């Protein structure tokens, strides 16, 4: 049988028999040529009479409004390679397809059971209407509809669903009007894309995927007869609910097709014997990467609005590789289990990874188990980063021209006057090492030198640096800021460190590569637009120091077989434990903590507990990546140190 499309309405009026034959529908056995000719004549007469009656329906909708009708469509989220991650829709799960993309078997089956004379009438079927009138008159109410496909379409698009005679007459008038402005193929295509097929599937595309995991163009005769049988009462005849009733309804459709001469008895018998149902309901399926899809939806809602996201038929390509994301989630689960084996009953572990070259988010694990908690700690939790904040202060010092990694700093007791009294910072081990280099102070994560440098270079300046790195969380220039005393999200921390990894080049981090509508028109494209926001010498100098943190400092548990830089973070009350680090191709943060801010326990540190999880992830993530090296500070010009005035020297003594 030919799979060419049904002829247009204009072609059908001239010669309807070739049109039906091209669609694979025989005409000799349909109901007799005499009957069809009579039906066409009667329909034409009825049409003329009803059009006269239409003058009394001046308040009916204008059928031309359907020319610009855009139905609600499902939006789809994909990984960077095109793997489907999630569907987004409201009540109507729908994807539009062209009539040419629907199999001939499915088109014939629908026509057979719903409107076998669709390509001969002009919107109404006089014979069916007469039969329904008699039946409804006998029962004293509307019990039989006799609607053509065109009438069903105008009912769905332009009228209310109430079953009354006035509405039925409106359907008739509007159906005739509609076929005067739209070709038959267009009416049929709109019908197939709009009707309800059960389980929140609107339109033939999502229905075919739900019931058979196929595209509509691949549906065979047995499957087509089952789908066509659903239209009258989708939930009643659903194979997910009553398989026996589904088969009975399928048999009715096949019998109708045979009686019309559109299939042979042998084809009917073979189709009846075929097993059905290889798909499953997809309308409310859950994402395998829910932290990703929820974060993507939030970004889409902020840009386009929730209504358009659920109804606009968007195609969203994310920055995530599904397999890479699954690996990250497994690493987090392994790390969480390991902490419990060590007797540390920690509620949550979160991980996020960003490509420094694009600032695309490559992995995001917002917690241990999305089913138990949908709170995304990567994007929503503002937690104290502890000493992982220190690199921002040290970078500010290097960029000021006042310090190099080899400059000296005193690790000695100091007291500052504050509003509530005095503040005397302490090191983690409560000791003091005396004079040391800036490099060693950061390598060993000494607190007092960081506080002193913060005061020297100005905390407002350090905050300006964090703003240039994309950290928007509220920060105040309190003396303890260099120790990470204010909350920042893991995503903010990772994106900032990614800028260190790119030696000062920054782009806004994103989970979305591009968004198109259902027709492929571009709605959003996040092409990286990197800007140099940091001094290159100062950034390269900082990275050289942070390499030492992993090589011989507090982050030795994160050591890789390639150059890597990073920083541990542990808050003084042991409520937050971090490791944030990077190689030239990837920056990653691991955070450990409890949602209720319970202390994690004495001895919990970023170096001892977060760094091993970071290393496990990075080893797998970089398995197929070549070894790359960081820029040397010697390649860049050091910033000139500012000249000091007596006034500036006096002003630094005010808080001692």
Neighbours of 71 (CB within 10 A): 17
Neighbours of 222 (CB within 10 A): 22
Catalytic residue, chosen from 103, 283, 289, 387, is 387
Give how far the C-alpha of residue 278 lies from the chain's centroid of Cα atoms, to the nearest Å. 26
**What tokens does 356 get?**
């420094």
3-state DSSP of 120-155? CCCCCCHHHHHHHHHHHHHHCCCCCCCCCHHHHHHH
Nearest to 482 by CA among 444, 513, 530, 447: 447
Nearest to 572 by CA among 548, 540, 549, 605: 605
Name beta bridge partners: 589: 352, 580
Neighbours of 464 (CB within 10 A): 12
Neighbours of 481 (CB within 10 A): 21
Q: Output Rg (C-alpha) for the chain, integer angstroms.
A: 35
* C-alpha torsion 285→287→288→294, nearest 10: -160
Helix residue ranges, H only, 475-535:
490-501
- Are the C-beta atoms of 368 and 349 separated by less than 8 Å? yes
Residue by residue, DSSP assigns 274-340 as: S--------TTPPPSSHHHHHHHHHHHHHHH-HHHHHHB--EEEES--HHHHHHHHHHHHHHHHHHH
**What tokens does 159 get?**
């009228």
- Are the C-beta atoms of 115 and 20 separated by less than 8 Å? no
114 is catalytic: yes
387 is catalytic: yes
Catalytic residue, chosen from 92, 95, 105, 114, is 114
**What tokens does 577 get?**
């434990």
- Are the C-beta atoms of 96 and 313 separated by less than 8 Å? yes
3-class DSSP assignment, residue 191: helix
Query: Which residues does 280 contact at the CB level (< 8 Å), separation at least 6?
Result: 210, 213, 240
Quick one: CA dihedral 245, 247, 248, 250, positive or negative? positive
Q: How far apart are CA 589 and CA 164, in angstroms?
A: 64
- Are the C-beta atoms of 586 and 626 separated by less than 8 Å? no
The strand pair at 315-318 and 75-78 is best described as parallel
Supply the residues annotated as catalytic.
114, 387
């Amino acid at each position: 049988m030919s799979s060419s499309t049904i002829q247009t309405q204009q072609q059908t009026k001239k010669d309807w028999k070739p049109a039906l034959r091209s669609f694979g529908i025989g005409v000799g056995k349909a109901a007799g040529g005499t009957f069809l000719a009579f039906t066409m004549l009667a329909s034409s007469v009825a049409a003329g009479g009803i059009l006269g009656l239409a003058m009394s329906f001046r308040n009916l909708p204008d059928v031309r409004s359907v020319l610009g009708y855009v139905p609600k469509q499902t939006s789809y989220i994909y990984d960077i390679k095109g793997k489907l991650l999630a569907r987004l829709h409201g009540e109507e799960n729908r994807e539009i397809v062209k009539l040419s993309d629907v199999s001939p078997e499915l088109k014939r089956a629908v026509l057979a059971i719903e409107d076998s004379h669709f390509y001969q009438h002009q919107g109404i079927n006089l014979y069916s209407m007469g039969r329904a009138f008699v039946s409804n008159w006998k029962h004293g109410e509307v019990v039989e509809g006799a609607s053509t496909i065109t009438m069903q379409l105008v009912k769905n698009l332009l009228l209310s669903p109430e079953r009354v005679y006035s509405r039925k007459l409106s359907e008739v008038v509007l159906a005739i009007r509609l076929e005067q402005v739209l070709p038959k193929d267009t009416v049929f295509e709109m019908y197939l894309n709009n009707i309800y097929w059960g389980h929140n599937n609107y339109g033939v595309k999502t229905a075919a995927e739900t019931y058979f995991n196929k595209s509509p163009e691949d549906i065979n005769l047995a499957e087509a007869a089952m789908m066509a049988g659903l239209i009258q009462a989708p939930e009643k005849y659903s194979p997910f609910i009553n398989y026996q009733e589904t088969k009975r309804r399928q048999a009715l459709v096949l019998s109708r097709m045979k009686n019309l001469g559109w299939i042979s008895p042998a084809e009917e018998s073979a189709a009846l014997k075929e097993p059905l149902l290889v798909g499953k309901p997809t309308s409310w399926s859950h994402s395998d990467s829910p932290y990703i899809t929820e974060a993507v939806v939030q970004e889409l809602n902020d840009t386009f609005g929730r209504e358009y996201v659920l109804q606009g038929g968007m195609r969203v390509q994310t920055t995530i590789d599904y397999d890479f994301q699954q690996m990250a989630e497994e690493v987090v689960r392994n790390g969480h289990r390991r902490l419990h084996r060590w007797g540390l009953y920690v509620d949550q572990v979160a991980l996020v990874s960003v490509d420094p070259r694009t600032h695309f988010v490559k992995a995001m694990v917002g917690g241990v188990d999305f089913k138990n908690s949908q709170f995304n700690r990567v994007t929503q939790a503002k937690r104290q980063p502890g000493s992982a904040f220190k690199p921002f202060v040290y970078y500010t010092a290097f960029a000021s021209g006042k310090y190099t990694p080899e400059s000296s700093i005193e690790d000695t007791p100091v007291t500052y006057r504050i509003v509530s009294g005095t503040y005397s910072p302490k090191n983690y081990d409560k000791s003091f090492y005396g004079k040391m280099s800036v490099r060693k102070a950061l390598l060993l994560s000494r607190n007092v030198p960081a506080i002193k440098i913060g005061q020297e270079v100005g905390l407002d300046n350090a905050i300006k640096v964090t703003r240039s790195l994309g950290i928007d969380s509220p920060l105040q220039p309190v003396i303890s800021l260099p120790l990470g005393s204010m909350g920042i999200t893991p995503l903010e921390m990772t994106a900032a460190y990614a800028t260190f990894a790119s030696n000062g080049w920054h782009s806004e981090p994103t989970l979305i590569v591009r968004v198109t509508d259902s027709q492929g028109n571009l709605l959003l494209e996040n092409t990286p637009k990197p800007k140099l926001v940091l001094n290159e010498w100062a950034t390269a100098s900082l990275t050289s120091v942070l390499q030492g943190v992993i090589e011989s400092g507090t982050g030795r548990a994160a050591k890789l077989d390639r150059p890597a830089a990073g920083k541990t973070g542990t808050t003084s009350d042991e409520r937050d434990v971090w490791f944030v680090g990077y190689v030239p191709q990837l920056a990653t943060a691991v955070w450990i903590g409890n949602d209720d801010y319970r202390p994690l326990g004495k001895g919990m540190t970023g170096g001892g507990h977060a760094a091993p999880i970071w290393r496990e992830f990075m080893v797998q993530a970089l398995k197929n990546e070549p070894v790359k090296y960081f820029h040397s500070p010697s390649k860049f010009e050091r910033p000139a140190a500012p000249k000091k005035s007596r006034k500036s020297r006096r002003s630094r003594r005010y808080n001692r």
